[in-house]
Amino acid sequence: MRLLHAARRPARVIPLAAALALLAGCGGSNDEVAAPAPTPAPPAGPVALGCAQLAGLAIPAASIGLPTRGGSVTTAVTVEASGSGARVIPEHCLVTGTIAPVDTTAPDIQFRVALPTTWNRKVMMFGGGGFDGTLPNVTGNVPAGPADQALPIGRGYAVFASNGGHAAGPLGSLDGLFLQNEEALRNWGGEALKKTRDAATFVIRARYAVDKADRAYFAGGSTGGREALQVATRWPDDWNGIIAWYPAWNQMTAILAGHRNNRALARPGAYPNPAKRQLVYTAAMQACDGLDGVVDGLISNQTRCNAIFDPDTASVNGAPLRCPDGAEGGDGCLSDAQIAALKGTNSATRLNFRMASGETSYPGYNVWGADLGITSNPNPLQPTVTFLNFGTEPPAFPMPTGAPYISRQTDALIRYGITRDPGFDSLSLDPENPGPWAARISELSAFLDVPVNLDAFAAKGGKLLLAHGLVDVLVSSRATQEYVQRLRSRMGASAFEGFARYYEAPGYGHAVSTAFNVAWDSLTTLENWVQNGTVPPPQVMSDAGGAVNGRTRPLCEYPRWARYNGSGDVNLAASFSCVDQEAAPQTQRQTAFGAVVGTDLSATSGTYAWKGVPFAKAPVGELRWKAPVDPDAWSTPRFTQQFGPACSQAGRLYGPGLNNRYDASIGSSLGQTVGSEDCLFLNIWRPAGAATQLPVIVWVHGGSNISGYTADPMYDGANLARRANAVVVSVNYRLGVLGFFNLGQLKSGNPLDDSGNFALLDIVQALKFVNRNIAAFGGDAGNVTLMGQSAGAVNVYAVMTSPVVVSASPALVHKAIPISGGLSPASELPAGSIATLAREADFRGQADYLLAQLVIGDGLAPDLATAATYIASRSPAEIASYLRGKSANTLWQTVVGKLAPIGAGGSGPIPDGQVVPVNPIAAIRAGAYVKGPLLVGNTRDEGKLFPTLLPLVGGPAGRLIDDATVFRIAFAQDPDAPPTQRIEQWIPGAYLPATTPTTGWNAKTEQLNRIFFLNSRDSILAALRTQQQNIWVYRFDWDELPAPFDVIYGAAHAFDLPFAFGNFGPSLYANISYTSANRSGRLALSDAMMRSIGAFARSGDPNNAALGLGWPTWPATLVFDATPTAKAISVQ
């Protein structure tokens, strides 16, 4: 996956034109002669053929260890000695040849051999790069080989290489046309290596009249690095020593990870231009360069940098790196879309389908400190760096020639190798959930991903030198770390040390760098180890054309890194020492599934944060509509510094938009399918420091069980964690028909799967993760408070009454804070109330209707009656397969277009009797629930957020503008500006004046509040009071919004949440609510609310000094309110 031939290190200065020239092949002498007709194979016996006699030599198919139609030498010429000193190229016979494929439509393999007149009885094979396609320069150097040491041919090696099985066109290593032929693809995937080695060996035997060489070495980088590990794994008897730089050892998996990055960079506004790349590079350097003890333009302690650098909060030259409000702000800052793309590159890719290779994920890349293509850098190496990194144009379809290297490579592989459709839009393929292309990708992985098994190579005495640049964003050094760790685990540390070494180079990217362009004498080190048994001593690398030409550094063995000794010339390796990594970065924690590294936010919020921690496998494919299962374990630390995707949903005001954050795309994506089915992630915040046994608060977001996302900035847990002195956890869970689905054909006899309550089981799975792992984050697994609002409160009550949770041992939850929600069937409510728990039969009817509409939509039936007949004719297994084959978009758009218009688009707990009691209120009265302290909350004006439901209390719909307009106004509003909106623009005249008794806005929304929220709350509280007394209730009355929003919304549903989390924007209603004038009062009120939540989580009693009064238990109610300047808390 590189432009340069992996077997040839770049010259000290290599402009782009020179790099591109490499793609056309590195020719030998110009006096090559056309071969005569093939001559017979050499006779048996030690008769050496002269150089000219090799021309036309036939290579029998039987001499090649994989199927071919044999080969032949096409040219053989003597090349005179040239060069001087270490650069001398001795006289040699330069041979070119071809190997014929079995498939006559496939291209030949072209190979080249340089046979020195004075041979040292050793051979060297060079690997290729990218898609190969050109012949590496066999008189060149090993990757990153130094200019002051002899070349392999200068040392007397016979050197050979091939074009990987096809001849590239003008695109060079990015030419993927050959992938349309299966034999050519498999040749590039590794088979050409064996065929070339055997053909070259036949030629070498003929030239030198020997049975075999004394030693055989292989050197390559990137694709050539994969090839190096491949030959040692598949054909270990052929090789004695291996040099593998930046190896794409799991190349199919790496391609998928790169493609995930492509799709992120292709989003509107996400691609950072060169000026912004310079900005984030500078910010990372200012934050991390000194971590190794000296500011020298290199980040040596990359692990520590990854843990502390967060572009959301970083500064550059004293100014915030993030643009104001995350909007595009020009070249002086990064927008939220650009930060999200970079954080995505830093995070792991999860493969939610089975790969034949067994690979399940790919770690992120070290973005912070990487030169992504800073085109203003005058270094002659810069054009090549830019070409190999982010290029000059964002990914698109068709793929631009200036797009990132990985974008162009993955585009070709998808179009020619996977779909075999040159017109296919590669960006439409989801690499984590590839759907119909999963089988083909899996097939390719079987030979493009190299198994981690060097047992035979080590057993025969082979030696391996691995190396990788730390800021490689084409092939991740974290992937090489993973390879090494797996190899160590497989063989044991002692056996690994007996044959392998892995080194990491700070500042070095993929094959080239303007910061530190590595030169390292790996070949001498390998020769001494293989031939003399000399264990590699401490290694030194030099900078060959980077920022400080000629400076040296220790090349440290992973996981050690180079730290400045505190004195001495910073340009000399002797001034540095390789030191052990910290026992773990400050934010690294070990979970049952692997280590996670979070972000140190102690300087900004006083917390540590871990975002996007997987707590279950992606519920896709056969796992859709099944209980969640544990995630696959990972072996290298996972950087959990970015929220995981929101769960799949139809866009709403309260959804994640297109970018999983609060931004303008929320308003433009209403009704569209957003989010992902691969969404079972949680986030953790804790106060900075080493405190343990902290109370744990697990947050369940609201959104009617059809929308919502933990990345909503209103739910950021940092302020609550610090103020409550608690560990705060927020949890994603499946939504809508993906989270609650009661279809008979899906039932298998498993009570959890058959319950249909997949969303609730996700929350339970998250609680199990917390129980097993939260101690590592300083939390007390024996003191967990489950907190949720609206649908989140509904789910809290469902979990607290679930037989699964009630019987759990150890206990998963101990207290609860349900806010603005209930779980009462109609039978437990006064007449006219809105039930907060529907019947199981209602959910069965919904599922049946959805299935029928899908069948009709596919043209399998014209109407509902015919659809029912069609469905009845199919087996449950066929129906299950049919439904699991539907995309999330198809499901959601059917819900939006067909179910919602008839009132069947809702979602929520299903009273199946296994996961959710048939009647949770009765279960509470019977004592069958998790008994623990409860803190219950509501807002005074809950109903004002639901004006479209006012017909339920005998009035017209209560909103004159649509959601898109609401969002546009709320997003653009300046809270401190004079009012631009009038209440008459929002509320129908039938409800005005708002204070009119009985029929006014306030009166009617209060009626809605009573039938929707308060009746259900009172139903549950009455049942709870039969079992316990430790129940506290609050009402949130704050309504100091600027006019007219103080009347339109007042203390509406969810308006207490910014106070509970201490986050006053950016969020949906922040700009119409929070003014400079009301700041003092709301901050004081927020502080009291967070401290009350912390006191409750800690002891089960919310009373604390910040309240300024005592908070009695229910039926008393504490009122949270404030004036513009001070809190005003009272008891009713």
pLDDT at 494 over 90: yes
Q: Is 510 tagged catalytic?
A: yes
Q: Are residues 612 and 518 in the same domain?
A: no
Q: Are residues 880 and 954 in the same domain?
A: no
For residue 211, the 8-state DSSP code is S
pLDDT at 33 over 90: no
Of the pLDDT bands very low, low, confident and very high (cuts 50, 70, 90), residue 46 is low
In this structure, is the dihedral angle defined by the CA atoms of residues 272, 274, 279 and 280, taken in order, positive or negative?
positive
Cα Rg of the chain (Å, integer): 33
d(CA 1014, CA 1020): 10
- Which residue, 969, 970, 977, is CA-closest to 1071? 970
pLDDT at 697 over 80: yes
For 673, the enclosing helix (H) or strand (E) is: strand 673-674
Higher pLDDT among residues 585 and 1041, named by residue: 1041
pLDDT at 217 over 80: yes
Q: Are residues 881 and 944 in the same domain?
A: no
User: Which distant-in-sequence residues (6+ apart) come within 8 Å of 216 by Cβ?
Assistant: 122, 123, 124, 125, 238, 239, 240, 241
pLDDT at 716 over 60: yes
- Determine, yes or no, domain membership for 787: no
In this structure, is the dihedral angle defined by the CA atoms of residues 429, 431, 434 and 440, taken in order, positive or negative?
positive
Asked if 73 and 57 touch (Cβ cutoff 8 Å), the reply is yes
Asked if 765 and 731 touch (Cβ cutoff 8 Å), the reply is no
Query: Among 194-208, 580-594, 687-701, which is the least confidently predicted range?
Result: 580-594
- Write down the number of H helices and E strands in the chain: 35, 35
Q: Are residues 409 and 457 in the same domain?
A: no
For 1081, the enclosing helix (H) or strand (E) is: helix 1079-1099
Q: Where are the beta strands (DSSP E) in 552-614?
A: 552-557, 561-564, 576-579, 588-590, 595-597, 599-601, 607-614
Q: Roughly what angle, to the nearest 10 degrees, separates helices 336-346 and 251-265?
A: 170
Q: Are residues 812 and 872 in the same domain?
A: no
d(CA 798, CA 837): 10
pLDDT at 748 over 90: yes
User: Span 250-279, mean pLDDT?
Assistant: 97
- pLDDT tens digits for range 510-519: 999 999 999 9
- Determine, yes or no, domain membership for 346: yes
d(CA 1092, CA 695): 13
Q: Are residues 638 and 687 in the same domain?
A: yes
Residues belonging to the chain: 1132
Bridge-partner residues for 1036, per DSSP?
939, 1120
Asked if 246 and 228 touch (Cβ cutoff 8 Å), the reply is no
For 1098, the 3-state DSSP assignment is helix
d(CA 21, CA 4): 9
d(CA 745, CA 854): 15
Of the pLDDT bands very low, low, confident and very high (cuts 50, 70, 90), residue 635 is confident
- pLDDT tens digits for range 759-777: 999 999 999 999 999 999 9
Q: Are residues 392 and 458 in the same domain?
A: no
pLDDT at 111 over 80: yes
d(CA 393, CA 401): 8
- pLDDT tens digits for range 991-1007: 999 999 999 999 999 99
- Which residue, 686, 725, 730, is CA-closest to 712? 730
- Determine, yes or no, domain membership for 911: no
Of the pLDDT bands very low, low, confident and very high (cuts 50, 70, 90), residue 582 is confident
Tokens matching residue 1060: 């509970």
- pLDDT at position 18: 32
- pLDDT tens digits for range 905-954: 999 999 999 999 999 999 999 999 999 999 999 999 999 999 999 999 99
pLDDT at 1061 over 60: yes
d(CA 697, CA 718): 12
Biggest alpha carbon distance in the chain? 113
- Residue of 222, 347, 442, 704 marked catalytic: 222
Q: Is 222 tagged catalytic?
A: yes
The boundaries of the domain holding residue 852 are 840-902
Query: Strands 595-597, 588-590: parallel, antiparallel or unpaired by DSSP?
Result: antiparallel
- pLDDT at position 39: 43
Q: Are residues 681 and 765 in the same domain?
A: yes
CATH number at residue 998: 3.40.50.1820
Query: For the purposes of burial, counting CB atoms within 10 Å of the CB of 1085, is it exposed (0-12), middle (13-18) or buried (19 or more)?
Result: buried
d(CA 229, CA 480): 11
Choose the final residue of a domain: 402, 418, 449: 449
Asked if 183 and 103 touch (Cβ cutoff 8 Å), the reply is yes
Q: What is the average pLDDT value for the chain, to the nearest integer? A: 94
Of the pLDDT bands very low, low, confident and very high (cuts 50, 70, 90), residue 31 is very low
- Determine, yes or no, domain membership for 389: yes
Q: Are residues 508 and 433 in the same domain?
A: no
For 732, the 3-state DSSP assignment is coil
User: Span 360-367, mean pLDDT?
Assistant: 95
Choose the final residue of a domain: 852, 886, 902: 902
Choose the final residue of a domain: 449, 473, 501: 449
Asked if 772 and 810 touch (Cβ cutoff 8 Å), the reply is no
d(CA 329, CA 417): 40
Query: For the purposes of burial, counting CB atoms within 10 Å of the CB of 1080, is it exposed (0-12), middle (13-18) or buried (19 or more)?
Result: middle
- Residue of 5, 166, 259, 510 marked catalytic: 510
For 218, the enclosing helix (H) or strand (E) is: strand 215-221
- pLDDT at position 646: 97
- pLDDT at position 938: 98
- Residue of 296, 472, 521, 678 marked catalytic: 472
What residue type is 604 in one-letter code? T
Tokens matching residue 633: 């374990």
Long-range Cβ contact pairs of 60-65 (< 8 A, separation 24 or more): 60/202, 63/198, 63/199, 63/201, 63/202, 64/99, 64/194, 64/195, 64/198, 64/199, 64/202, 65/194, 65/195, 65/198, 65/235
Query: Among 24-33, 457-466, 1053-1062, 1076-1085, which is the least confidently predicted range?
Result: 24-33
Q: Are residues 87 and 178 in the same domain?
A: yes
pLDDT at 104 over 70: yes
User: Residue 492's CB: how many other CB atoms inside 10 A?
Assistant: 11
- Determine, yes or no, domain membership for 921: no
pTM for the model stands at: 0.83
Query: Strands 694-700, 727-731: parallel, antiparallel or unpaired by DSSP?
Result: parallel
- Which residue, 1009, 1004, 1022, 1005, is CA-closest to 824? 1022
Q: Are residues 240 and 265 in the same domain?
A: no
- Determine, yes or no, domain membership for 927: no
Range 480-489 burial, b when 16+ CB lie within 10 A, else e: bbbbbbebbe
Domain count, the chain: 5
Q: Give backbone dihedrals phi and psi of 1119, rounded to 5 degrees, phi first.
A: -105, 120
What residue type is 575 in one-letter code? S
For residue 129, the 8-state DSSP code is -
Q: Are residues 719 and 848 in the same domain?
A: no
- Determine, yes or no, domain membership for 832: no
Asked if 552 and 573 touch (Cβ cutoff 8 Å), the reply is yes
- Determine, yes or no, domain membership for 353: yes
For 491, the enclosing helix (H) or strand (E) is: helix 477-491
- pLDDT at position 581: 82
Query: For the purposes of burial, counting CB atoms within 10 Å of the CB of 376, is it exposed (0-12), middle (13-18) or buried (19 or more)?
Result: exposed
Of the pLDDT bands very low, low, confident and very high (cuts 50, 70, 90), residue 37 is very low
